[in-house]
Amino acid sequence: MNRHQTVFLISAILLFAVIASAQNLQARKEISIPDIPGYITLIADLHTHTVLSDGYVHPAIRPDEAWREGVDVLSITDHIEYQPHKEWIPTNHNLSYKLAKGKSDQLGVMLIKGSEVTRSLPLGHYNAIFLSDCDALDVDDPMDAFKAASEQGAFVFWNHPGWPREDGIPVWEEVQEELFQKGYMHGIEVVNTRKYYPLAHKWALEKKITMIGTSDIHMPIGMDYDHRHGDHRAVTILFVTERTPEGVRDALDNRRTAVYHDDILIGEDKYLKPVFMNSIEVVTPEISIAGKGHTLLQIKNNSDVPYKLKRSSSDETRISYSDEIILIPHRTVLVWINGRSETELGRFEANLEYVVENLYVLPETGMNVRIPIVVDHSAK
Ligand SMILES: [Zn+2]
Ligand SMILES: [Zn+2]
């Protein structure tokens, strides 16, 4: 090989390496939360900002970020009343949707048109999504904005309900009651950015409004979330019958949602139970134990959620088992099981009873689960 050929070969290798690494950047990483019986699981971020209000990115960047991070449904909800860049970017409430639509379609990210109604306390901020014309919300009286949203058939939720109160604790004031009574409030952010509001969680259950979790991202998403190293934005999980905007709307209207924030899933037992059961796989559902000896059960977790299990039952008549387990995402873990008796032998069905501490079915309260196994218990 002469010098020219060597230079050419090295250049080709370098070029290939650059292309390969660039292609790695153009990759989507799914959020692994399984479908449940009867429903497809979709991941949504229904609260994001761009330069068209107080954000710092072009609208077309949002669907690109969403696609990479495994988000299926996106809403850009720039502020109606807060337009700090208007000196050089004239106010146009419909423009962020228009500028993001092409990229969304290209990547298959469902884009839902929305705006954020932005008022001082006690009213606060609300996202109206499924709008047809965001301009209609740019009015003096906030109640007229809600009326306009309602006339367009929008879905409206209360954003960051504890912000900007000093203690961060939300208060359900007369004005929220008025919105609720008028049918203008359909959901509430139980999580906004990295903040969980247990009170909002409680209200969502009591008042039967939809639980929402959002990033409320203003910066390029990578500046706030280290996605490549396992971090993720707060999202709403939707249990849909079809992967369409109508399917998304139906899930929101019928409160078939959960919130995924940090390592925590928040939602009703009827949705989180099948999510958990469809996430795990008992690799060795039948185990053999001799006398008071022990054996190891293998449980695999196919989801992204590190389920934190704490034993809830103290019934130890026939077997005893690990007090605490962390089901590490995409790994198989070992659970020890001990025989308790040397006389009561034979083959029987047992349930391992745990509380999954990071699945909140009530405010800051874990979910009870039973993992069925079969034990073949023989004499020593
Ligand atoms: Zn806000
Ligand atoms: Zn916002």
- DSSP one-letter code for 187: E
Q: Residue 76 Cα, ligand 2 centroid: separation in angstroms?
A: 9
Q: Residue 20 Cα, ligand 2 centroid: separation in angstroms?
A: 36
- Residue 2: pLDDT over 80: no
Q: Token pair 């039952």 is at which residue?
A: 313
pLDDT digits (tens, 9 = 90+) for 61-97: 999 999 999 999 999 999 999 999 999 999 999 999 9
Tokens of 304: 């992204």
pLDDT digits (tens, 9 = 90+) for 109-125: 999 999 999 999 999 99
108 in the Ramachandran plot: left (φ > 0), alpha (ψ -120 to 50) or beta? left
Q: Residue 5 Cα, ligand 2 centroid: separation in angstroms?
A: 57
Q: Residue 319 Cα, ligand 2 centroid: separation in angstroms?
A: 52
- Over pLDDT 90: what percentage of the chain? 88
Which residues sit opposite 129 in a β-bridge? 114, 155
Q: Residue 76 Cα, ligand 1 centroid: separation in angstroms?
A: 12
Q: Cα–Cα distances in Å, from 71 out to 17, 109, 142?
A: 28, 7, 31
Q: Residue 125 Cα, ligand 1 centroid: separation in angstroms?
A: 5
Q: How far is CA 15 from the centre of its chain?
A: 38
Q: Residue 49 Cα, ligand 2 centroid: separation in angstroms?
A: 6
φ, ψ for residue 176, nearest 5 deg? -70, -40
b/e burial code for range 65-83 (CB count within 10 A of at least 16 → b): bbbbbbbbbbbbbbbbbeb
Q: Residue 116 Cα, ligand 1 centroid: separation in angstroms?
A: 7
Q: Residue 194 Cα, ligand 2 centroid: separation in angstroms?
A: 13
- Residue 19: pLDDT over 60: no
> Which ligand lies nearest to the CA atom of residue 48 in the structure?
2
**Helix/strand/coil for 167:** coil
CB 54 within 8 A of CB 85: yes
> Which ligand lies nearest to the CA atom of residue 216 in the structure?
2
The count of residues in the chain is: 380
pLDDT digits (tens, 9 = 90+) for 253-299: 999 999 999 999 999 999 999 999 999 999 999 999 999 999 999 99
Which H or E run includes 227? none
pLDDT digits (tens, 9 = 90+) for 234-260: 999 999 999 999 999 999 999 999 999
Q: Residue 54 Cα, ligand 2 centroid: separation in angstroms?
A: 9
> Which ligand lies nearest to the CA atom of residue 214 in the structure?
2
φ, ψ for residue 147, nearest 5 deg? -65, -45
CB 287 within 8 A of CB 337: yes
Q: Which positions ≥6 away from 361 have C-beta within 8 Å?
A: 267, 268, 269, 272, 367
b/e burial code for range 280-318 (CB count within 10 A of at least 16 → b): bebebeebebeeeeebebebebbbbbebbbeeeeeeeeb
Binning pLDDT at 50, 70 and 90, where does residue 126 land?
very high
- Report the alpha-carbon distance of residue 308 to residue 273 in Å, rounded: 14
Q: What is the pLDDT of residue 316?
A: 72
Q: What is the pLDDT of residue 17?
A: 59
- Report the alpha-carbon distance of residue 280 to residue 258 in Å, rounded: 18
Q: What is the pLDDT of residue 105?
A: 98
